[in-house]
């Protein structure tokens, strides 16, 4: 048992922190700022946009609001956001690369507000995109919504994974196994692991006051990924398109509260398809 577990012992069940009702307010503020950060980036995700410029916009926005970018210097990561285009599954590193028309891109941001973490990601189309790319993005959002709908006291983490996997595979897409959602709160990556695949009734039992992310990665092709030599960028082995979206949520008495809702209703950015 680690020191943290000893100190937290009365508020943890099977290693999962049970937060107090007043802790929800901290998560609402962190989640809202993460959503506002992606709202701010939305009009800037256009052909020619340099990914490092998007990263700088996000960093300045977060610091201007008295918050901290959680990814900056996290385990040696050197940017504020992850930007993952096309066949990049997650953890793409912003740089000199410019976005091109027809690409699809995930932007993932985590902020720390008064010690609380808000972790959130969305998909964007860069100008008009193909119908198959649009379909993949819509399936990914729907899978997240189905995962959240499975959250309530007494349900299990396996129920969430089952809801996501069964839907995604019914659409002839695949779920990435190598990355998962995670507990968060005053810690960035905590228990429980939220697998985006699984069986009903398996895993940890959900209780009010648990906070975690759900962040399915969905591929048009096979689920296998490989890590590039930068040590971060994960790509699909078969080079098929991949999409992801992420909310931070809390378990309530009768379901889930989503902390990362967009004040401007921009969670699902408008997608244009090429004629
Ligand atoms: N935001 C990512 C997540 O969902 C974590 C990125 S870690 C980083 O958990 F270091 F790559 F930024
Ligand atoms: Co996350
Ligand atoms: Co994230």
Q: Measure CA 160 to chain center.
A: 15
pLDDT, one tens digit per residue, over 231-254 is 999 999 999 999 999 999 999 999
pLDDT, one tens digit per residue, over 125-163 is 999 999 999 999 999 999 999 999 999 999 999 999 999
What is the mean pLDDT of the segment spanning 67-96? 98
H runs (alpha helix) in the chain:
3-8, 23-41, 51-64, 131-149, 157-170
Residues with CB under 6 A from ligand 1: 71, 74-75, 77, 82, 91, 108, 110, 119, 213, 215, 232, 246
pLDDT, one tens digit per residue, over 14-68 is 899 999 999 999 999 999 999 999 999 999 999 999 999 999 999 999 999 999 9
Predicted pLDDT at 8: 55
Q: DSSP character for 65?
A: T
Predicted pLDDT at 1: 47
Burial 71-86 (b: 16+ CB within 10 A, else e): bbeeeebebbbbbbbb
Q: DSSP character for 273?
A: B
Instruction: Give the total residue count for the chain.
Output: 275
Cis peptide before 41 (omega within 30 of 0): no
Q: How far away, in angstroms, is 274 Cα from ligand 2 center?
A: 31
Predicted pLDDT at 10: 56
The pTM assigned to this predicted structure is: 0.96
The pLDDT-based confidence of 3 (bands split at 50, 70, 90) is: very low
- Judge whether 40 and 62 are in contact, CB under 8 Å: no
Q: How far apart are CA 109 and CA 69, in angstroms?
A: 8
Q: How far apart are CA 175 and CA 235, in angstroms?
A: 13
- Judged against a pLDDT cut of 80, whether residue 184 lies above it is answered with yes
Mutate to test the pocket of ligand 1, among 71, 217, 231 (most ligand atoms within 8 A of CB): 71
- Atom of ligand 1 at shortest distance to CA of 109? 1
What mean pLDDT is reported for the chain?
96
- Judged against a pLDDT cut of 90, whether residue 94 lies above it is answered with yes
């Amino acid at each position: 048992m680690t020191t943290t577990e000893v100190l937290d012992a009365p508020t943890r069940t099977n290693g999962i922190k049970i937060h107090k009702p007043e802790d929800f307010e901290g998560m609402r503020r962190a989640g809202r700022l993460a959503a506002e950060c992606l709202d701010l980036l939305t009009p800037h995700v256009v052909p020619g946009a340099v990914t490092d410029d998007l990263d700088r916009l996000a960093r300045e926005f977060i610091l201007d609001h008295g918050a901290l970018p959680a990814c900056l210097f996290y385990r040696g990561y050197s940017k504020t956001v992850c930007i993952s285009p096309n066949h990049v599954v997650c953890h793409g590193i912003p740089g000199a690369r410019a976005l091109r028309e027809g690409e699809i891109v995930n932007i993932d941001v985590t902020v720390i507000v008064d010690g609380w973490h808000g972790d959130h990601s969305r998909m964007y189309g860069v100008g008009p995109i193909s119908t198959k790319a649009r379909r993949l993005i819509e399936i990914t959002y729907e899978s997240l919504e189905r995962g959240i709908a499975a959250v309530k006291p007494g349900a299990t983490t396996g129920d969430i994974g089952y809801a996501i996997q069964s839907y995604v595979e019914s659409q002839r897409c695949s779920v990435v196994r190598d990355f998962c959602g995670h507990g968060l709160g005053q810690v960035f990556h905590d228990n429980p692991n939220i697998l985006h695949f699984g069986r009903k009734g398996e895993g940890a039992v959900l209780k009010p006051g648990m906070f975690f992310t759900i962040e399915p990665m969905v591929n048009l092709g096979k689920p296998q990924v490989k890590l590039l030599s930068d040590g971060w960028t994960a790509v699909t082995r078969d080079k098929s398109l991949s999409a992801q979206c992420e909310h931070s949520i809390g378990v309530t008495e009768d379901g889930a509260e989503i902390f990362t809702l967009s004040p401007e209703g921009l969670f699902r950015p408008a997608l244009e398809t090429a004629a």
